[in-house]
Structure 1
Amino acid sequence: MKKIDRETVQRILDAADIVEVVSDFVHLKRRGSSYLGLCPFHNERTPSFSVSKSKNICKCFSCGKGGSPVNFIMEHEQMSYYEALRYLARKYNIEIKEHEMSDKEREEESERESMLAVNDFALKHFEKNLQETDDGRDIGLSYFLDRGINEASIKKFRLGYSLEKSNDLLNAAKSRGYNEKYLIETGLCIKTDQGRVYDRFKGRVMFPVFSISGKVIAFGGRTLKKDVAKYVNSPESLIYKKSYQLYGLYQAKQAIVKHDKCILVEGYMDVISMHQSGIENVVASSGTSLTDGQIRLIHRFTDNVTVIYDGDAAGIKASLRGIDMLLAEGLDIKVLLLPDGDDPDSFAQKHTSSELEEYIAANETDFLQFKTSILLNGVKNDPIAKSRVINDIVRSIAVIPNPITRNVYITECSRMLEIDDRIVALQVNKLFMERVGKDNLKKQQEAAAETISDIVNVEEPVKPVEAAAEVKRQPSPVDSNSRFLRAYEQGILRYVLRYGMLELCEDYDDLGNPISVKVIDYINEELKNDDLKFSNPDIEKTFEEAIKCSSLTWEEDNCKNNETLLKERESYIAAGEE
């Protein structure tokens, strides 16, 4: 192996523009002299990742990660220093001058680089099989062409074929000097308990999976036989985490940013056919349930997602959970239902780009309307079933993090389902607070687990008394709850102090006499009914004083305050005379 010389390194560093480099992975918006986007290194809904073109650096003000273009690529793609330099050299078309590496330098080459290298070899091997072997052309290429995939799309997505031989790839890779260890660790080959090694994907058409930067990190293989599993996928490895990857994102990322929208489908062929028809801002979850990691990946490029479903009602209901996950991330969701008998692949094959765009624009609907129509179908005359559907819809609204958006959907939900918006709002807010409470409790438990782990795993033995003292020094759950709930308790107190004495409604006593109910009385009664107390002592004390004051008339309160002022005046005079 060879090492990049110093002159080439300097040319790469001089050419690399931080905005251009980061924009390949994060959707940036200009803010004054800087750029801002969602941090790719941790989960966030409010952009805190700042990129400075003049300083040629990036920085997240929440998690602290960032640095130069090289630092960013190293951290984001988990590359070594020289891997990151090679990546930037390819991006800026800089010719790399290298010298032979010493034995020590060769030993230091990362395992990750070796796995990526063997995957890259397999990619080219499968492509060659498809185009240059009789079986590849007769079986693999014929399959793609019969499915309506043209040569341009085959090259764009680097499609290939694995021959119906147990060790075709294994022998080819070993003959080129690739270590069998990495063929097994990437999942390209399987080793049995008896020690036999064979190709995982034999006899299958191949769909390579790329990282955002264009590295091939996994494969999906589809068989054309009927007596075996239709799809086989690469197992998770050091370079491939399925829950953090979306098929087609490498090819779609620029179109997603351009259109400020991501279209989400299910399978490989759906993505390829949509791209071929001219709709390129399309990605797939590769037939698996949508994950938080995949959703955060989409959110780095856009806030808008359109989910396409085919006409299978059972499949739609099973997939509705993914909509709630998208909503919880703060994304704006629309849903498109295709005609019966069509999926994105077949529908795209039958329509031109303009027809597809027109159909999407005319038929994509808000998630609330879609979910309501799907779930209410057939249960409108069953009150119990209808109430379950309404609760399901309310739960979806409750996961939305933005309070304004939540409120808009509460109003729309009450209108569509003909329910009092106050009832909907109460239930949504209750579910929202329960969810926030669970998230907060989970964070506390994780923090407590880390604390205990730190205490248990110290090198020096810790005495029980010292360990107990260490735990005691950590913030208690009560303290954490108080800090977390403070903003919400302040919100309640703000209503009390501003509107507490206003009349909310009219009620009746036991004798049927009308009585006025003030805002503060209603809030106090609701807190008692739910057995809720303020966790912050200062807020609790202020609330109690407000309750006392509310029981007095203005004249009584004024008289009481005057008496207090007179006593304070007398004490000041007495102190002055002494």
Structure 2
Amino acid sequence: MEKYDLDKLNELDIVEVLEAIGARPSKSNKLLHCPNTNAHSHGDKYPSMGFDKGKNICKCFVCDLSGNPVTVATKHFNDFKKACEFLHETFGVPYLSGEVSHQPHKRIQPRKPKEKQYWFFDSKKKFSKVLIKDFLPKYPNMSELQKLKLIYTFVYRFSLTTDQRGKLFWYSSRGLSGSKFLKYLGFLSKSDIDNLVEQLLKYFSLEELQRFKLLDLVGGWKYGYNVVVVPSFDLYSDMVEGFMLRYTDNRPKGKEVNVSCTDIAFPVPFGLGRKTLQKCKTLWLTEGHIDGLSIATQNECFVSFAGTYSYKEEMLGLLRGKIVIVAYDKDKAGQEAQTVLIERLQKAGVDYKIASWDAKNGKDLNDLLKNAKLQTIQLV
């Protein structure tokens, strides 16, 4: 039996855990409809599940469903083992052994195991350039996927039109002021976000902006400001299917947040685009886009995952036929994630090498860049 990583499981967002076991959002930004519907009159028509994001706990004011992620899942399933396995698999959290079993659930439902269908890139498929203004009149009749791409692309392109000085100053502090990729990254300040929300509500419905995780339950922006917008492009168009917000205030925790709806579209990482797949024979895989931009200063192609476990395993099929260089951070978390990635690359039939360097020269590729030590990397 795999050993459960209870510490990591209890770090999962309590609201996401509740929604995974069947909780529904309400008009209140402090309450959910409790998933334990059998214990409520009328299925908890009036929301009674409160939560504390700071303490990462919840409590239903009607039934006894309460606690941290592991506790509440255990009460829901009435089985500790089943609860832990559900959390590990649903959120892709590695077991203590390092093994990862990621089977995302939209709601509690039985799933039949099936063979992985690895993605592939169709180089003959037409690439489309999209003008948002041409598609706004068609928005009401679009599919959910089309709406998601249109709205996310709207946000991304808006972020390219703002005052970029905050972004440029921050990248300069990372030794990346000359990066040719900065033009693909947007920026949003406090005043930009106020304007963005106004524009979004002008063209799109509040319900869908909430559904796509942009606005909160009272119609406000869900995230902070002074953020870089790092896009995840569609492989066959210039639209985006998700993006990562990178805070520039050098906060110790919560530096990045991924914005996507993986039940609609699982975005590919920054750097993994049509040109990369067509022209690059060797790809560096990095934990974050800053490391990707750092190795790109050596004229190398890169793919940057927005977090060590943020990629979909089937996505690795896109890397077949390439030489992949894994260049994860030299800390414990990075090395553990690297081990998992290598196992998955082997399973997907992807050729790889490992970037090795003396950790005294830097924990990551950006450290090596700033310390003028990129040339010390060896491939093994």
5 Å matches for 1:331-350?
A: 331-340=350-359, 341-349=362-370
Residues 109 and 99 (structure 1), Cα distance of their counterparts in 2 relative to 1, 3 Å cut: closer
Q: Which amino acid aligns with 2:379?
A: E
TM-score, scaled relative to structure 1: 0.39
5 Å matches for 1:24-35?
A: none
- Which of 246, 249, 267 does residue 222 from structure 1 map onto? 246
Match of 1:308 in 2: 327
Structure 1 residue 162: Cα displacement: 3.9
Structure 1 residue 287: Cα displacement: 1.3
Structure 1 residue 219: Cα displacement: 1.8
Residues 237 and 320 (structure 1), Cα distance of their counterparts in 2 relative to 1, 3 Å cut: closer
Q: Deviations over 1:251-278 (max 9, x none)?
A: xx53555452222111011112222432
Match of 1:369 in 2: none
5 Å matches for 1:279-290?
A: 279=300, 281-289=301-309
Residues 359 and 187 (structure 1), Cα distance of their counterparts in 2 relative to 1, 3 Å cut: same
5 Å matches for 1:397-436?
A: none
Structure 1 residue 228: Cα displacement: 6.0
Cα distance between partner residues in 1 of 2:117 and 2:265: 19
More helix by share: 1
Instruction: Determine if contact 1:335/1:364 at 8 Å carries over to the other structure.
Output: yes
Q: For this pair of structures, how many residues does the alignment match? A: 258
Match of 1:178 in 2: 204
Instruction: Determine if contact 1:265/1:309 at 8 Å carries over to the other structure.
Output: yes
Q: Deviations over 1:272-312 (max 9, x none)?
A: 22224321x2102221325422311222xx24221113433
Match of 1:163 in 2: 190
Residues 272 and 314 (structure 1), Cα distance of their counterparts in 2 relative to 1, 3 Å cut: closer
Instruction: Determine if contact 1:263/1:305 at 8 Å carries over to the other structure.
Output: yes
Q: Which amino acid aligns with 1:282?
A: F
Q: Deviations over 1:356-405 (max 9, x none)?
A: 5x655xx211xxxxxxxxxxxxxxxxxxxxxxxxxxxxxxxxxxxxxxxx
Q: Which of the pair has the greater relative contact order for Cα pairs under 8 Å at 6+ separation? A: 2
Structure 1 residue 225: Cα displacement: 5.4
Match of 1:254 in 2: 275
Unaligned runs of 5+ in 2: 1-115
Match of 1:211 in 2: 234
Cα distance between partner residues in 2 of 1:292 and 1:269: 22
Match of 1:188 in 2: 214
Unaligned runs of 5+ in 1: 1-41, 52-57, 59-68, 74-86, 132-136, 366-578
Cα distance between partner residues in 1 of 2:283 and 2:169: 31
Q: Deviations over 1:473-519 (max 9, x none)?
A: xxxxxxxxxxxxxxxxxxxxxxxxxxxxxxxxxxxxxxxxxxxxxxx
Q: Which amino acid aligns with 1:307?
A: V
Match of 2:223 in 1: 200
Instruction: Determine if contact 2:229/2:243 at 8 Å carries over to the other structure.
Output: yes
Alignment root-mean-square deviation, CA: 3.7
Match of 2:316 in 1: 295
Instruction: Determine if contact 1:220/1:234 at 8 Å carries over to the other structure.
Output: yes
Instruction: Determine if contact 2:258/2:306 at 8 Å carries over to the other structure.
Output: no
Residues 225 and 330 (structure 1), Cα distance of their counterparts in 2 relative to 1, 3 Å cut: closer
- Which of 115, 130, 151 does residue 118 from structure 1 map onto? 151
Residues 153 and 186 (structure 1), Cα distance of their counterparts in 2 relative to 1, 3 Å cut: farther
Q: Which amino acid aligns with 2:141?
A: E
Structure 1 residue 323: Cα displacement: 1.0
Cα distance between partner residues in 2 of 1:237 and 1:184: 15
Match of 1:274 in 2: 295
Instruction: Determine if contact 1:303/1:330 at 8 Å carries over to the other structure.
Output: no
Q: Which amino acid aligns with 2:244?
A: G
Q: Which amino acid aligns with 1:240?
A: A
SS in structure 2 of the partner of residue 271 of structure 1: helix
Cα distance between partner residues in 2 of 1:316 and 1:227: 20
Instruction: Provide the identity percentage.
Output: 21
* Rg (Cα) greater in structure: 1
Match of 1:543 in 2: none
Instruction: Determine if contact 1:187/1:200 at 8 Å carries over to the other structure.
Output: no
Residues 201 and 215 (structure 1), Cα distance of their counterparts in 2 relative to 1, 3 Å cut: farther
Instruction: Determine if contact 2:162/2:192 at 8 Å carries over to the other structure.
Output: no
Residues 277 and 150 (structure 1), Cα distance of their counterparts in 2 relative to 1, 3 Å cut: farther
Q: Which amino acid aligns with 1:210?
A: F
Does residue 145 in structure 1 map to residue 172 in structure 2? Answer: yes
5 Å matches for 1:479-518?
A: none
Q: Deviations over 1:88-141 (max 9, x none)?
A: 4x49xxx9xx9998xxx775333333322222221122222233xxxxx3x433
Cα distance between partner residues in 1 of 2:264 and 2:337: 30
Cα distance between partner residues in 2 of 1:184 and 1:172: 15
Structure 1 residue 240: Cα displacement: 3.2
Q: Which amino acid aligns with 1:221?
A: L
Instruction: Determine if contact 2:287/2:329 at 8 Å carries over to the other structure.
Output: no
